[in-house]
Amino acid sequence: MKTRPAAPSAARIAVVAAEAALEPAAGELARRLGVPLLAADAWRAGGGGPVVLWCDTEGLAVRGPAASGARPVRPRPPASARAGRDPLLRAVGRWTEVLDATAGLGGDAGTLAAAGRQVTLVERSPVLAAVLDDALRRWRAAGVAAAVRMRLVGADSRAFLVTAIADVVFLDPMYPEAPGGGRSRARKAEAPHLLRLLAGDDGDQAELLSLARRAARHRVVVKRPRHAPPLAGRPPNGSLPGRTVRYDLYAPEEVHP
């Protein structure tokens, strides 16, 4: 993974090794990230707060509190979508080079890479970047072809996009959680909730969109909840509705040679 100075993570979380044999590697990771290492027993007894960086024999994951009963959440291996049907692939179009400036757990980037796109994933949370880096290494070692087309950069896209150029820039920033959430305890342990705990609500969306429009040769694609207002209130040039989400398309601000 290429690393550039990243914005501090919204949460200072602990690394937990699921078993004693993994403690040396987990301790090294904790040192690298500058966060504490917590014993699995202490986590089971309620330590570690609302989210930890979980280290087990399947790799790195993020995980909610032991009391929630939630399982580790980790990136899913890239899976092919049907090119003509998947709204994300339709939104990106025929272009080959995609910069995913809000990588998260890499689900959308994986869909694009599985469909043959070269994807640069930029993630500013050092914890999420570590989880993604670990998953990419494992997939490559297992011969997952799409993983070879995925390149991770641990950085804040607001800095990265200043000098980057790609056919398409893809943005999927956090969408604010409804007050109170209306979410059950069980649902709160799911990936979006953990991502939000780690990444916070992204408050820099107007800047990100305008930098993305300068970095894109052909288009910017923004993923939004289906009925949400457009990103930063900026009307898109077009939209592709999916079942639960919508892809807003923006033209580049400059034409790149």
Ligand X SMILES: C[S@@+](CC[C@H](N)C(=O)[O-])C[C@H]1O[C@@H](n2cnc3c(N)ncnc32)[C@H](O)[C@@H]1O
The Cβ-side half-sphere exposure at 215, using a 13 Å CA radius, reads 28
134 binds ligand X (CB under 6 A): no
Q: Using CB under 6 A, pick the residue from 35, 113, 126, 157 that binds ligand X.
A: 157
154 binds ligand X (CB under 6 A): no
Q: How many residues in total does the chain contain?
A: 257
199 binds ligand X (CB under 6 A): yes
Residue nearest to ligand X (CB): 104
156 binds ligand X (CB under 6 A): yes
| Total of chain residues touching ligand X, rule CB under 6 A | 23
State phi, psi for 78 to the nearest 5 degrees. Answer: -55, 135
Q: What whole-number distance in Å separates Cα of residue 51 and Cα of residue 14?
A: 8
Shortest Å distance, C-beta 144 to ligand X: 16
Contact 62, 52 (CB under 8 A): yes
Q: CB under 6 A: which stretch of 12-20, 64-72, 137-145, 197-205 binds ligand X? A: 197-205
Q: CB under 6 A: which stretch of 44-52, 64-72, 151-159, 245-253 binds ligand X? A: 151-159
Q: CB under 6 A: which stretch of 38-46, 81-89, 170-178, 180-188 binds ligand X? A: 170-178
Shortest Å distance, C-beta 145 to ligand X: 19
Place of tokens 């990136």: 75
138, 162, 140: which is closest to 4 by C-alpha? 162
Q: What whole-number distance in Å separates Cα of residue 233 and Cα of residue 37?
A: 42
Q: Among the residues of the chain, which ranges form H helices?
A: 23-33, 40-44, 87-92, 107-114, 126-141, 145-148, 157-160, 185-188, 191-199, 205-215
158 binds ligand X (CB under 6 A): yes
Binding mask 90-109 for ligand X (x = CB under 6 A): -----------xx-xxxxx-
Q: What residues line the site for ligand X (CB under 6 A)?
A: 101-102, 104-108, 122-125, 128, 156-158, 172-174, 195, 199, 202, 204, 208
